[in-house]
Amino acid sequence: MKFIKLIGNVINISHISNITIINNSYYLIHMNNYQTKGFFLTICGFITSQNDIFHICKEKQPDDYNTITKFINDSNYIVK
């Protein structure tokens, strides 16, 4: 397993769904959610699932922003 260490979090990279780059100054890290919540009553019901999203801003979190930038640029998982 590989991890990314940020200021307030350590992220398992296998749980990253995608990273959205906004104006080269903002990242949205979308995480996979392996938990579902819901209930069923006889034959009807519902199931919900919500993915966590980390917001990384170049101005507010420069260290985290640089870490994610390095991860994207050095990643073997990305086809350039």
In this structure, the dihedral spanned by the alpha carbons of residues 68, 23, 17 and 37, taken in order and rounded to 10 degrees, is: 110
Number of domains in the chain: 1
Of residues 48 and 7, more confidently modeled: 7
Domain range for 29 is 3-74
How far apart, in Å, are the Cα atoms of 15 and each of 25, 33, 63?
23, 8, 21
pLDDT of residue 65: 95
Residue 38, pLDDT score: 64
| pTM summary value | 0.73
The dihedral region occupied by 39, where left means phi > 0, alpha psi between -120 and 50, and beta the remainder, is beta
Residue 17 within a domain: yes
**Residue 80 within any structural domain of the chain:** no
pLDDT in tens, 21-72: 999 899 999 988 766 666 666 666 656 566 689 999 999 999 999 999 999 9
Instruction: Say whether pLDDT at 11 is over 70.
Output: yes
